[in-house]
Amino acid sequence: MNNGLPLKKRFSLNTSHTRLMETIQMVDLKNQYLKIKSEIDAEISKVLHSSAFINGPAVKEFQTALEEYLSVKHVIPCANGTDALQVSLMALDLQPGDEVITTPFTFFATAEVLALLKLTPVFVDVEENSFNINANKIEEAITNKTKAILPVHLFGQCADMEKITSLAAKYNLFVIEDACQAIGADFIFSNGKRKKAGTIGDAGCVSFFPSKNLGCYGDGGAIFTDNDELAQRLRCIVNHGMFTRYYHDMIGVNSRLDTIQAAILKVKLPYLNDYNQARQQVAKYYNQAFASHKNIITPYQTDNSTHIFHQYTLRLLGKNRENIIKKMAEKGIPVMIYYPVPLHLQKAFSYLGIKTGELPISERLCNEVLSLPIHTEMSEKQLAYITHTFLSLL
């Protein structure tokens, strides 16, 4: 827990090798909150006094503000990022047995929703450098059952949406972007044009889980689309398939963004660019500290996307990763593995019958990657301590 002491008091002054007085966190939500406390508290209080807890005015206000920020026609708020993905697939009317091409190197939810809807996930291996789906390997995975491509913009950097959307056009496939880790990132087309992550495919999905780059104080999510008809279906499905109260046109779900969460997000959205920049500064510090170290491959930066560093994930070569993580923990530094097992080797997907060795790059990355603390409140002293400690263990 953070006790809110001024930063300089939280570190031993001269040496960055001694233990900090406080534990470093992967994400520091408390200090971020304290900086905007008066605004947040006022907006929450407004909701409490209005008692409009479901679909109160803040939901529409946040929706409109986000549409403007993203330059997208429709934002459909919903309960979480997983629902955003599920509802998108439902709205596109995919049928059991339809195949959806996606990446095995992602959070489980990406493919979980496919299985839930009895769709077949078809995993295409990732690029070794960007960690994102290898767009050059998608075409060979397309069959006459393929209906959609579901790329993930992993760790805050966009997959190759130019190649993906052109393949989708060629084979008449839908594209649903899992932009849960990339809100605010720009995809840069070869003609220089930029579009926000999640606004390029037929639908884009985000999560406002507290630790995401734009996080609320509970669960939240949203779907983006420029397609009026699809937006209509999405709005209907998140609301029990209903437009007119108690008249249900289709089977839907109950997936709403709480008014309180929308009020919090409305306050935080204007800070999103600053938050993303703060993360980029942290990444820059790490990159410089680790540059040209023979055991470390720092995160790759593609030309066609900005990187908003939802995670700072490096590859550690020729070292005992588990041992280093344990030693870092002893020094008060949390280190995480995103992700330890690729989806095709998860027990829950064993029914697909995909064997070890079939998606070798994802499998290798799962054994090499390691994510260091990154958030909007990190100080240079924390960074010095983390980098010195990490390097001393290699």
Ligand X SMILES: *Cc1c(COP(=O)(O)O)cnc(C)c1O
Binding site for ligand X (CB under 6 A): 80-82, 106-107, 109-110, 152, 178, 180-181, 207, 209, 219, 221
Alpha carbons 369 and 314: distance in angstroms, whole number = 6
Alpha carbons 350 and 218: distance in angstroms, whole number = 32
Closer to ligand X by Cβ: residue 202 or 219: 219
Asked if 165 contacts 195 with a C-beta cutoff of 8 angstroms, the reply is: no
* Ranges of H-type helices in the chain: 29-35, 37-50, 57-70, 81-91, 109-116, 161-171, 228-237, 259-268, 272-290, 321-330, 360-368, 380-393
Closer to ligand X by Cβ: residue 257 or 386: 257
Q: Tell me how far, at minimum, the Cβ of 207 lies from ligand X, in Å.
A: 3
Q: Tell me how far, at minimum, the Cβ of 197 lies from ligand X, in Å.
A: 11
Closer to ligand X by Cβ: residue 16 or 261: 261
Q: Tell me how far, at minimum, the Cβ of 119 lies from ligand X, in Å.
A: 16
Closer to ligand X by Cβ: residue 372 or 383: 372
State which residue has the least CB distance to ligand X: 81
Q: Tell me how far, at minimum, the Cβ of 269 lies from ligand X, in Å.
A: 17
Q: Tell me how far, at minimum, the Cβ of 362 lies from ligand X, in Å.
A: 14
- For tokens 């429709």, what's the residue? 74
Count of CA atoms in the C-beta half-sphere (13 A) of 47: 21
Q: Tell me how far, at minimum, the Cβ of 136 lies from ligand X, in Å.
A: 22
Asked if 209 contacts 81 with a C-beta cutoff of 8 angstroms, the reply is: yes
Closer to ligand X by Cβ: residue 307 or 331: 307
Closer to ligand X by Cβ: residue 77 or 81: 81
Taking the CA atoms of the chain, what radius of gyration do you get in angstroms? 21
- Give, in degrees to the nearest 5, the angle at Cα 74 between 81 and 78: 30
* Ranges of H-type helices in 134-204: 161-171
Q: Tell me how far, at minimum, the Cβ of 7 lies from ligand X, in Å.
A: 29
Closer to ligand X by Cβ: residue 20 or 94: 94
Segments of 165-246 assigned E as strands: 174-178, 186-188, 194-196, 203-207, 221-225, 242-244
At residue 344, what is the residue type?
Answer: H
Q: Tell me how far, at minimum, the Cβ of 80 lies from ligand X, in Å.
A: 4
- For tokens 């049928």, what's the residue? 95
Closer to ligand X by Cβ: residue 209 or 349: 209
- For tokens 């095709």, what's the residue? 344
